[in-house]
């Protein structure tokens, strides 16, 4: 669907086999992560798909459930605030400092595309298109056909060692 890359001095770390990621303030981790299932929630809460750093200073600019990507007819859409309604109010809670898309504070959900820039508190991300490995069988066969032929003779000791003759045929 899409991928996120971390801009600046931060990187992503996988949290077990669950598909959950954590963002940390260093360059030792991954700079790029795939987002293959939606919704994908970003925030400080333990149940977010991308867990943001949590300290007293960051609580002023990032929310527990800051924003999320959802699917809308095959397109990724970015939404500010909590994915689920908050039990106290029965409404979705907006983020503490807003979610920014391409330098503008989001008021409504917006579709994202490769090249878009997302800002969540002090963190900056670039939306990309996942790279897919494409293999062409035609190219593989052309490469094989262009190689020099190799001839095997039964008298070659390497052939008899690699392909021993069954006892019944001796």
**pTM as predicted:** 0.75
pLDDT the model gives residue 64: 94
What are 21-39's pLDDT values in tens digits?
A: 999 988 888 899 999 899 9
**SS3 annotation, the chain:** CEEEEEECCCEEEEECCCCEEEEECCCCCECEEEECCCCEEEECCCCCCEECCCCCCHHHCCCCCCEEEEEECCEEEEEECCCCEECCCCEECCCCCCEEECCEECCCCEECCCCCEEEECCEEEEEECCCCCCCCHHHHHHHHHCCCCCCCCCCCHHHHHHCCCCHHHC
The more confident residue out of 84 and 142 is 84
Domain 2-128 in CATH 2.160.20.10: no
Contacts of 91-97 with CB under 8 Å at 24 or more apart are 93/63, 93/65, 95/62, 95/63, 95/65, 95/66, 95/67, 95/120, 96/59, 96/60, 96/61, 96/62, 96/63, 96/66, 97/60, 97/61, 97/62, 97/63, 97/121
**Is it the case that residue 145 has pLDDT exceeding 70?**
yes
pLDDT in tens, 68-104: 999 999 899 999 999 999 888 888 999 999 999 999 9
How high is the pLDDT of residue 170? 53
Per domain, the residue ranges of the chain are 2-128, 137-165
Quote the pLDDT of residue 157: 78
pLDDT of the residue at 168: 55
């Amino acid at each position: 669907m899409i991928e996120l890359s971390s801009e600046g001095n931060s990187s992503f770390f996988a949290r077990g086999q669950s598909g959950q990621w954590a963002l940390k303030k260093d360059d030792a981790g991954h700079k790029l992560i795939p987002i293959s299932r939606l919704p994908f929630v970003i925030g400080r809460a333990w149940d977010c798909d991308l867990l943001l750093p949590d300290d007293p200073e960051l609580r002023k600019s990032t929310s527990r459930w800051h924003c999320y990507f959802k699917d809308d007819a095959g397109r990724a859409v970015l939404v500010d605030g909590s994915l689920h309604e908050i039990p106290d109010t029965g409404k979705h809670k907006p983020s503490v400092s807003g979610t920014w898309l391409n330098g503008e504070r989001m008021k409504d959900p917006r579709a994202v595309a490769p090249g878009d820039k997302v800002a969540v508190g002090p963190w900056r991300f670039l939306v990309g298109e996942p790279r897919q490995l494409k293999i062409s069988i035609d190219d593989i066969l052309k490469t094989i056909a262009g190689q020099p032929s190799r001839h095997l003779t039964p008298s070659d000791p390497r052939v008899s060692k690699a392909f021993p003759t069954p006892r019944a045929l001796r």
